[in-house]
């Protein structure tokens, strides 16, 4: 009795309806869905992804430290049920939102990740926190002067804020990422470039 180990749930196979629904909502092929499903259950045998597991996956993916804040943003967006866990369908829909569809849609996904106050706008403090998270993720140590997250946030908002309310709405964010290569590299670090409309 004392040497019994907790039973790990077996991977739950996807039903035909699951696959068909995910093909429509994610635009992934059946083979891609099955591949994502296998990898998800390798990392999350119980079929649920919590913040700690997401942080572990991101640290493994980037091979760098400093993923704490970035994962906080990502989990807040992935956890659509707001129950502290992410199931496979939620996870794949979120991944699809970042990797499939038009450039505007994918930049809109990034906007949703960065906007944390619920007012559908990004203010200077939200942007400063996000820039800090990105700096940590890529081990950027040059944070003095104009490269300080607070100064970078102020500069970006001053450039993109067309209606001069000191915040960025979705349209301003997307237009700024599309039209300025430096801002593009900072705010959308997962995207390779505008020409091939793809991400890493």
**Residue 179 in contact with residue 156, Cβ under 8 Å?**
no
The model scores a pTM over 0.75: no
Question: The tokens of 104 are what?
Answer: 């505007």
Q: Could you give the CA distance from residue 146 to residue 171 in angstroms, rounded to a whole number?
A: 25
Mean per-residue pLDDT, 72-80: 72
* Domains of the chain with bracketed CATH: 29-99 (1.10.238.10), 106-194 (1.10.238.10)
Bigger pLDDT: 184 vs 165: 165
The answer on pLDDT for 154 being more than 80 is yes
Least confident of 4-18, 38-52, 104-118: 4-18
| Contacts (Cβ under 8 Å, ≥6 apart) of 137 | 62, 64, 66, 67, 70, 189
CA atoms of 7 and 119, how far apart (whole Å): 44
What per-residue confidence (pLDDT) applies to 137?
66
d(CA 193, CA 138): 18
Please state the rounded mean pLDDT for residues 184-196: 57
As a whole number, mean pLDDT of residues 133-156 equals 83
């Amino acid at each position: 009795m004392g040497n019994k180990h907790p039973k790990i749930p077996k991977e739950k196979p996807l039903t035909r309806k699951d696959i068909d629904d995910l093909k429509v909502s994610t635009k992934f092929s059946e083979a891609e869905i099955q591949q994502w499903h296998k990898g998800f259950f390798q990392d999350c045998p119980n079929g649920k992804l919590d913040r700690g597991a997401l942080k572990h996956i991101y640290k493994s993916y980037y091979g760098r430290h400093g993923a704490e804040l970035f994962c906080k943003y990502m989990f807040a967006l992935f956890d659509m049920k707001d129950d502290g866990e992410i199931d496979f369908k939620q996870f794949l829909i979120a991944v699809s939102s970042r990797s499939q569809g038009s450039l505007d849609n994918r930049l809109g996904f990034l906007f949703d990740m960065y906007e944390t106050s619920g007012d559908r706008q990004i203010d200077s403090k939200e942007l400063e926190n996000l820039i800090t998270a990105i700096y940590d993720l890529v081990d950027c140590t040059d944070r003095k002067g104009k490269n300080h997250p607070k100064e970078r946030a102020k500069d970006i908002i001053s450039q993109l804020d067309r209606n001069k309310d000191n915040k960025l709405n979705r349209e301003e964010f997307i237009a700024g990422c599309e039209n300025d290569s430096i801002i593009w590299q900072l705010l959308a670090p997962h995207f390779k470039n505008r020409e091939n409309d793809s991400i890493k």
